[in-house]
Structure 1
Amino acid sequence: MARRKLAEPLTAKVIDALTTTRRSERFPEGTVSCLYMKVQRSGSKSWVFWTERKGFAGELGLGSWTGAGKAGRVSIHQARKAALAIHDRIGSGHNPVEERRRDSITFGKVAADLIAEMTPGWGEKSVKNWKLSLQVHAADLRSKPVAKIGVDDVLAVLRPYWTEKLETAKRLRQRIEHVLDFAKAKGHRDGDNPAAWKGGLQKLLPNGKRATRHFAAAPYAAIPGIVTALNGMAGQADDETGVKALLLTLHCVTRTGETLKAEWQEFELDGEEPVWTVPAARTKMRKDHRIPLNPAALALLDSLPRKDGETRLFPDTNSHTMLNVLQSLPGCGDHTVHGTARSGFRDWAGNETSFPRDLIEECLAHAVGDNTERAYRRGEAMAKRRKLLAAWSGYLDGGSNVRQLRRA
C-alpha cells in the first residue's frame, strides 16, 4: 500500500478531495505521527493508525470518514485524540496492535477451534455434549473477546445452573476452564484462568456438594402385592418381557442396567447351586457380582424366549419399559424400579430378618470390609446369601418361592 506525503495537515476539504488510482493509499494526517487517512480506489475513506515500529508493526482502524454522513463520521479531532491515546499505551509498554488482534478473537471462536482439534480423539457423544455446553449453556460468553473474560463473566454463566443443575454446572465450569487454557496456550490471553476452581471460584460459589439422591419406592409391605400383580400380567401384558425383567430385578435385587444387559452366558444353571455372575464391567463396584439363583428366579429364566443369534435376555426392553410397567400398577405412580427392588429389600431384610448387615449389603453388591476380609468371605457368604435371597423371594411370593410361569 502506497503512502503519500502532504505539504499541509489534512483538512475536511482536502480529505473530501482525496482520490487514488491504486487499490488503496494512505495519506498522513500531518500533525500526529502514525495517523493516516486510508483511501480506497472505490472512494471509501477511513482513519488508521499505522506503524512499522519493531514489535508494534501493524494497522489499527480508527473509524470511517465516509458512509455515515458528517454526523456519524470520525472527525479529524477525534482521530487525533485516538491516535495520541495509542501512543500513550505504547509508551506504557502495551502493544495496541496485539491487543486489538486479541479483541477480535472471541470465546466462541476459540471454543469451536478447541472442539475441532479434539474431535478426532473424542466420541460422537463427547462432541455433542461439549457443543451443548459451550454453545447453549455458555452462550453469553461466545461473543466476548476471550482475552477479556474475567471471573465475573464466568460467574454470570455458572450461577443460574449451580443450585438447580449442579452436575451440569460442574461440567460447564470444567469446559470453560479448558477453553480458556486452550486460548492461553494459543497466545490469545494472559494471566490466571478465571474459571479455575481451586483458589478461585471455590471461594465464590457454594461447595457444590450434591444432596443424597433417594429413589422413590414402595414400602416393602406393599411389594408382595406388586409381585402378585406382575405375576398376573406375565402372560397377558403387551410387553411381557418388560414384566419379567422387572420380576427378575425384584427377586435378584439387581440394578436396572444389570438386568437389561444380562446375557445367557452369564448364567450357570446346571447343578445344585445355580449362579448368575454379573461381569465387573456392568457393576458399580467394578468387580464380578455373583448372585445365587433361587427357584423363583429360575422359573423366570425358564419362561423367557430365546432367539437364534441373540445373546441377551431382554434385547427389546429398556429402563423406560420397566418403569412404565411398575408405574402402571395402582399406587405406584411415582415409584422407581431401583427404589422398589433394592431399597425395599434392604428395609425388609434389616427390619424383618436376623440376617447380618454385611450379608444384606453383599446381596446388593455393596463393598463390605477390606480386600482381605472380602476374599475370605467369598465362599462362605454365597451359601448364606442363597438363603437370604430365597427368603426374600418367599416373602415376595407370599410364603412360597416356587411358581409356575408360562414357558416361552
Structure 2
Amino acid sequence: MARNKLSETRIRTLPAGIHSDGDGLFLRVRKGGSRQWFFIYRRGTDRKEIGLGGYGQGTAPVSLALAREKADAIRDRLARGEDLIRRRTFSEVMEDVIAVKTAGFRNEKHKAQWRMTLDKYAAPLHAKPIADITRDDIVETLKPIWTEIPETADRTRMRIAAVLDHAKARGLYAGDNPADWRGGLKELLPARQKLSRGHHAAVGYKDLPAVIARLRASTGVSARAVEFAALTAARSGEVRGAVRSEFDLDQAIWTVPAERMKAGREHRVPLSDRAIEIVKAAIQRSTCDLIFEGGIAGRGISDTAMVKALRAAGAGDATLHGLRSSFRDWAGDETHYPRDLIETALAHVLKDKTEAAYRRSDALAKRRALMEEWEKYCTPANKEA
C-alpha cells in the first residue's frame, strides 16, 4: 500500500476530518484544531485502532516522522502475528481510575461515592472491552436512572467519561468520548437543564411552607430528614451522615466535623426548636448512632429516599440541594441579614479576602436568630391557607 502521503507542510493546512498517510497510519483533525495520530488494522473481521499520540500537543508531541516510526513498529509486530491490544475491560480501567481519582480525596465518603456510582450504575459496562464501548452502550446504561435519579445519573455519566478519558490517554480507546454530553448524548437523552452543576432545581421559597406541611403529614424517616435539611440549610450528605455525638441538644448546636464538610472545615449549625424536635424523635427511633436510619438497620437514609419524599411533598423536580437555594433566596429577598452571615449559614467559604478577614468567627448567635426566623417562615401554621 502507498505510504508517506502526508507532509509537515500539508498537515498544518488540513481541514477537520481523517487523513491517511498510507498503510494504516491516519491523522484525525478535529474542528478545534487538535490532531491525533492513530493506526488501524484488521484481524479477521475485527477492526482495531491504536492511538499513537497527538501531533504537536502535550508534553510528548508526536511528529510525522515519529508517527511513521511507531507505525513501522506496529507493522513489524503484526507481521510476526503478535496480538497488539489486550482487550482490557471497562471494570479493569475503572479500578485504575478510582485509585488515581480518590488518592487526593480527604473525605472517605467522597471516595465511597465514586466507587458506588461506578460499581452500581455503570455495571452494564463492566465486562465490555473498553475499546468497544459505544455511545449506544452509554445510553442504555444511563436510561434506567436518567429521569429517576437525575443528579446521580449525571454524576455517573461524568465518572464513566473520566474512565474513558483515562483509557484514551493510555491508548486503550480511540475516538471521541461517547459519554461526553455535547458529543451526542444530548440528542439521545432528555434535556438536563436542571442537572448542570451549580444550577439545582429549587422550590420557590414562597411555595416551601406548603411543601413543609406535606412533609410533616408524613411519618417516614425520609420526610423528617428532608425537613431537617430544609430547616438547617445543610447539604443532604451532611444530614444523612449525622450521628448522635455531633449534637449538643442542651446548647441547641449541631457540629459537623471537618471531614464531613465540603470545605474541609468544622461547621456549627444553630438548631431551631423544630429542628431539635426532629432530632430527638429520630434518636428515639434509630437503632444505631446515625440520626436518620434508613430501612436497613445500621444504614443511613439514602439520597434517593429523600428525593422521593421531597417530590411526594409536591416539590416537582426540585433537588435536595435546591433547598439551600430556597433558603438563600428567602434570606436575600426577605431579611436584612448581611450577605456574609447568610453565606456562613450555608457553610460557604468567603471568596473575598477582605470580607473573610472581618468574619473571623462563625457568628453563631446572629446565625441562630436567622435560622429561627427561617423556621418561623417555613412553619405552615404561620402561612395563610
Q: TM-score, normalised by structure 2?
A: 0.56
Offset, 1:286:
1.7
The equivalent residue for 2:267 is 289
Structure 1: gaps (5+ residues): 1-92, 142-153, 182-192, 198-204, 402-408
Distance 1:280 1:365 in 2: 11
Structure 1 pair 397/170, CA: closer, same or farther in 2 (3 Å)? same
Q: Give the counterpart of 2:375 among 367, 375, 393.
A: 393
**SS state at 1:337 partner:** coil
Match for residue 245 of structure 2 among 247, 262, 265: 265
Matches within 5 A, 1:3-402: 98-101=77-80, 103-109=82-88, 125=115, 128=119, 135-136=127-128, 138-140=130-132, 167-168=158-159, 170-177=161-168, 179-180=170-171, 211-233=196-218, 237=219, 239=220, 241-271=221-251, 274-306=252-284, 310-316=288-294, 317-329=301-313, 331-339=314-322, 341-369=323-351, 374=356, 377-379=359-361, 381-398=363-380
Structure 2 CA distance for aligned equivalents of residues 375 and 138 of structure 1:
50
Measured against aligned partners, the alpha-carbon deviations of 1:314-345 in whole angstroms (never above 9, x if no partner) come to: 1212222222222123x433222221x21111
Q: Aligned in 2, Cα 1:102/1:315: closer, same or farther, shift over 3 Å?
A: farther
Shift of 1:389: 0.9
In angstroms, what is the RMSD of aligned CA positions? 4.7
Distance 2:303 2:164 in 1: 30
Contact 1:176 1:195 in 2 (8 A): no
Contact 2:212-2:380 within 8 A present in 1 as well: no
> How far 1:215 sits from its partner (Å)?
2.2
Deviations 1:325-381 (A, max 9, x none): 22123x433222221x21111111111111112211111111114678547524362
Q: How has the CA–CA distance of structure 1 residues 111 and 371 changed in structure 2, closer, same or farther, with 3 Å as cutoff?
A: same
Q: Which residue of 1 aligns with 2:3?
A: none
2:171 alignment partner AA: L
Post-superposition Cα deviations, 1:153-187, rounded to whole Å, max 9, x if no partner, equal: x99999999xx976256314333135438xxxxxx
Give me the whole-angstrom Cα distance separating, in 2, the residues matched to 1:297 and 1:381: 19
Distance 2:165 2:340 in 1: 38
Q: CA deviation at 1:131?
A: 8.3
1:304 alignment partner, SS class: helix
| Matched AA of 1:245 | A
2:18 aligned partner: none
Counterpart-to-counterpart distance in 1, 2:289 and 2:376: 29
Q: 2:14: which partner in 1?
A: none
Bigger radius of gyration: 1
Shift of 1:137: 7.8
Contact 2:229 2:239 in 1 (8 A): yes
Using the alignment, how far apart are the partners of 2:278 and 2:226 within structure 1? 10
CA distance in 1, matches of 2:96, 2:380: 61
Could you say if the C-alpha distance between residues 102 and 114 of structure 1 is closer, same or farther in structure 2, counting changes exceeding 3 Å? farther
Take 2:223 and 2:139, find their aligned partners in 1: how far apart are those partners?
Answer: 43
Relative to 1, partners in 2 of residues 1:231 and 1:110: Cα closer, same or farther, differing over 3 Å? Answer: closer
CA distance in 2 between partners of 1:244 and 1:342 (Å):
16
Where 1:106 maps in the other structure, the secondary structure is: coil
1:368 and 1:376 mapped to 2: Cα distance?
11
**Structure 1 residues 389 and 376: CA distance shift in structure 2, 3 A:** same
Give the direction of change, closer, same or farther, for the CA distance of 1:103–1:254 in structure 2 (3 Å limit): same
Residues 101 and 292 (structure 1), Cα distance of their counterparts in 2 relative to 1, 3 Å cut: farther
Give the aligned residue type for 1:357: R
- Contact 2:244 2:290 (C-alpha < 8 Å) held by counterparts: yes
Secondary structure of residue in 2 paired with 1:242 = helix
Give 5+ residue unaligned stretches, structure 2: 1-71, 103-110, 147-153, 178-182, 185-194, 295-300
SS at match of 1:344: helix
**8 Å contact from structure 1 (residues 277, 291) kept in 2:** yes
Shift of residue 101 of structure 1?
A: 4.6
Once the two structures are TM-superposed, the CA of residue 313 in structure 1 deviates from its matched residue by 0.4
**Aligned partners of 1:336 and 1:119: how far apart in 2?**
27
Distance 1:277 1:137, change over 3 A: farther
Q: Following the alignment from structure 1 to structure 2, what is the Cα–Cα distance between the partners of residues 119 and 369? A: 30
Amino acid at match of 1:384: K
Structure-2 change in CA distance of 1:179 and 1:358 (3 Å): same
Question: How many equivalent pairs are there?
Answer: 270
Report sequence identity in percent. Answer: 28
Structure 1 residue 395, shift from structure 2 partner: 0.4
2: CA distance, partners of 1:231 / 1:350? 26
Q: How high is the TM-score relative to the length of structure 1?
A: 0.53
